[in-house]
């Protein structure tokens, strides 16, 4: 049976998507972007921020794959809802969501770079990224579908807050968060349904 939800396969493909995006101001660390800006001024060297962000994205994505074979086997044997017939599309769905999120953060940054509000928003993008990426390794390691459901709900809550604040900055940036807002409830609900089908692994 194919993997579902936030599959490690999806995460392993995300770094590739990020590395190909010259606009990838991503959901990742404002602190690193700030460091890049300082280096540019001091050294006079033009460093493309998407290169550094892409590198950080790779490290974060690799962290999501820190799982043992037994962890993978645990998840593989879990029962899935019968209506889940689109497993093969899930990796593509998440790649699309992360690309949209990266573009959203890029628009926000370019709209008002280096302002306190923008840095706070970059922090929220980072938090959303970390919580989303944490779903697989944390749930697998703890072998708890309840933890997965909690992380899914937390990610949705963060994205709602982020979208509300970003709406005051850019409508387009907010629109690019809609894919996450639409898919996250589906993924979280699926995990919750798996609890009903696998009560021993709740």
Domain spans, the chain: 8-201
Q: How far apart are CA 173 and CA 105, in angstroms?
A: 7
pTM: 0.74
Residue-level pLDDT at 51: 58
The predicted model gives 35-54 an average pLDDT of: 50
Residue 33 has pLDDT above 60, yes or no: no
Both structure tokens of 168:
């005051």
Q: How far apart are CA 134 and CA 61, in angstroms?
A: 9
Residue 67 has pLDDT above 60, yes or no: yes
Residue 40 has pLDDT above 60, yes or no: no
Residue-level pLDDT at 48: 53
Residue-level pLDDT at 114: 78
Taking CA atoms, 83 is separated from 24, 42, 47, 185, 187, in Å, by: 35, 57, 47, 15, 13
Binning pLDDT at 50, 70 and 90, where does residue 60 land?
low
Q: How far apart are CA 179 and CA 84, in angstroms?
A: 19
CB proximity list for 53: less than 8 A, separation 6 or greater: 18, 24, 25, 26, 28, 29, 32, 33
Place of tokens 């387009």: 172
Residue 100 has pLDDT above 70, yes or no: yes
The predicted model gives 17-21 an average pLDDT of: 42
Nearest to 135 by CA among 77, 183, 83: 183
Residue-level pLDDT at 129: 85
């Amino acid at each position: 049976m194919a993997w579902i939800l936030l599959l490690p396969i999806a995460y392993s493909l995300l770094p590739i998507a990020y590395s190909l995006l010259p606009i990838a101001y991503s959901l990742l660390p404002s602190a690193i972007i700030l460091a890049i800006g300082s280096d540019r001024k001091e050294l006079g060297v033009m460093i493309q921020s998407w290169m550094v962000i892409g590198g950080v994205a790779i490290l974060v994505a690799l962290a999501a794959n820190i799982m043992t074979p037994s962890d993978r086997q645990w998840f593989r044997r879990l029962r899935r809802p019968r209506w889940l017939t689109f497993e093969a599309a899930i990796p593509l769905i998440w790649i699309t969501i992360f690309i949209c999120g990266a573009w959203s953060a890029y628009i926000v940054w370019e709209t008002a770079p280096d302002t306190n509000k923008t840095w706070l928003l970059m922090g929220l993008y980072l938090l959303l990224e970390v919580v989303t990426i944490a779903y697989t390794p944390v749930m697998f390691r703890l072998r708890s579908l309840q933890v997965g459901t909690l992380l899914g709900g937390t990610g949705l809550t963060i994205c709602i807050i982020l979208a509300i604040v970003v709406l005051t900055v850019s409508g387009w940036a907010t629109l690019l968060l809609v894919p996450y807002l639409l898919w996250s409830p589906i993924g979280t609900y699926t995990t919750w349904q798996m609890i009903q089908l696998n009560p021993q692994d709740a």
